[in-house]
Amino acid sequence: MTQTQIDRRTLIAAGLATAAGAGASALPEPSEAAGTTLNHFQHGVASGDPMPHRVVIWTRVTPTTDATPGSGRGEEVLVRWEVSPTADFERVIAKGSQQTGPDRDHTVKLDVTGLAPETWYFYRFSYKGQTTRVGRTRTAPAADANPENVRFGVVSCSNLQAGWFASYRHLAARDDLHAILHLGDYLYEYGPGEYGYGMSNEDIRPHEPAHEMHTLADYRIRHAQYKRDADLADAHARLPWIVTWDDHESANDAWMLGAENNEPGEYDWIERKTNSHQAYDEWMPLRVDGTATVETDDQLHDRIYRRLRFGNLLELSMLDLRSYRSEQVARTDLAGVDDPDRTITGNKQLAWLKEGLLTDAQWKIVGNPVMIAPITFGALPKSLISPVNDVTGLLPDNGIALNVDQWDGYTADRTELFDHIRNNAITNTVFVTGDIHSAWACDLPYDSAVYPLGKTAGVEFVGTSVTSNNLKDILGAPRRTVSVTVEDIIKTANRHVRHLNFDDHGYSILDVTRNRAQMDWYTIGERKDHGTAATWAVSYATASGSNRLHHVTEPV
């Protein structure tokens, strides 16, 4: 990616650690030297997609020194696993073995069943007398349970080349979370020197392999590098994760049949996408069957949009907004953004999402990889758009979109979804979003031009990036200088944007209770500083039934 392309992603919008469960096993590092012992577990453990009676657990085994990630080498092996309600494993309540080999890059992933709802468990794997560190996970409440609250850590956009993963370290240190939501861009496809730290594109830690990912081996090697990060490993071992991908897990600005960062003649896109999806399935603790079944007619070997329920308090719908979307239009294509034949979700996923919003759960939480709030300039009341278009034919239904890679570039899908919410009198819909390396708190008006008059479809909380460049980084400006002016311009033109911060990196906490859903934003210091602290910045909440945001003076 060139600097100009990097600028576009952000500037378009501007127009402590603790051990997880138990410590890591004291194992020597892998070595080719005679007389040394190979560390069979070099990539940690992870869990994810918690349900009341089941949860996914994961690890990767290195059976021989040549069976490195992406090598395709090494034998088929049997890895044993155990689950216990206590970290000392005095009582094992589930155990078994799982075969793995080079066909799935020696990763081990299984869906442990027969568990009790709303319960902490510990798990570990073993091979040839070596045992992994102990992981900790938690099942979801029973479908009809009435939990007091559900609390998630929220992260996105974690570029290893751009800095240290302090956000993961701080999340792993907390004792009040039930799971972590990762909303996309878990890793980045670029090679060293292509997209790193700030204006200089300096690499704090160069990517492996030392080139942009294209092949299955490339994607596997990159996943392995990220899993070796100690802070990320701690966060995975500490809590179950609920993940979805955005674009950089494959290539920048991906759509169903291509990507901005897959130029014509560079690489066959369907093959590249399949490679990235296979590696993601192998290396991430998510469930891609059962509740997420195969859709062969969508040119995919997997489907990751899925739904997880946490008692009658909330239901979480995790979206995939890359695999089925139409190609992005040019930002000057004012009619294209409203074309009803273009889609960001695909017809099947949109129907699935609409059905899910009819749930009897009190809160409808949507894990949303790209921003849904309309962010425009030149907005007119909808009652005036048709007359103006009779003369000019220029205005899209929601004003002039700033970022057509978001839902703003696919307004027909958003209109259909919002109409569904309004027509069915659905309340308590909360979109939780990543992608744009900045913090936003937005109401979701049916007609943004007349806001705050009129009704709203729900609210949206957008988290900052873990490390990926924001506006301050790209401009090279001091914090809270140029960005403040840009923020004020955007908020003036879009009054439903209640909070905006282009300057900071970090993580968020989403806490859901009967009375409200609240997002707390935490910011970190310098990305180059491995030990940087985290500081609470701001909180917004939506009261049950209100479909509107209000400012909160302290975090949960």
Average pLDDT, stretch 444-459?
Answer: 96
* Contact by Cβ (8 Å): 435, 469: no
Roughly what angle, to the nearest 10 degrees, separates helices 482-493 and 3-14? 50
**Is the pLDDT confidence value at 152 over 90?**
yes
Query: Distance from CA of residue 72 to its chain's centroid?
Result: 28
d(CA 531, CA 529): 5
Tokens of 118: 């709303």
CATH level 3 topology of 16-139: Immunoglobulin-like (2.60.40)
CATH 2.60.40.380 in the chain, residue ranges: 16-139
Please tell me the predicted confidence (pLDDT) of residue 65. Answer: 97
Residue 124 φ/ψ, nearest 5 degrees: -160, 160
User: Which H helix or E strand runs over 62?
Assistant: none
Residue 312: pLDDT above 50?
yes
Relative to beta strand 314-318, strand 149-155 is unpaired
- From-to residues of CATH 3.60.21.70 in the chain: 140-552
Q: Would you say residue 293 has pLDDT above 50?
A: no
In this predicted model, what pLDDT tens digit does every residue of 407-421 receive, in sequence order?
999 999 999 999 999
State the architecture of 140-552 in CATH terms. 4-Layer Sandwich (3.60)
pLDDT in tens, 20-68: 333 333 333 333 334 468 999 999 999 999 999 999 999 999 999 999 9
Rg of the chain in Å (alpha carbons): 23
More confident residue, 505 or 391: 505
CB 41 within 8 A of CB 27: yes
Tally the residues of the chain.
Answer: 556
Global pTM reads 0.90
Tokens of 62: 């290195």
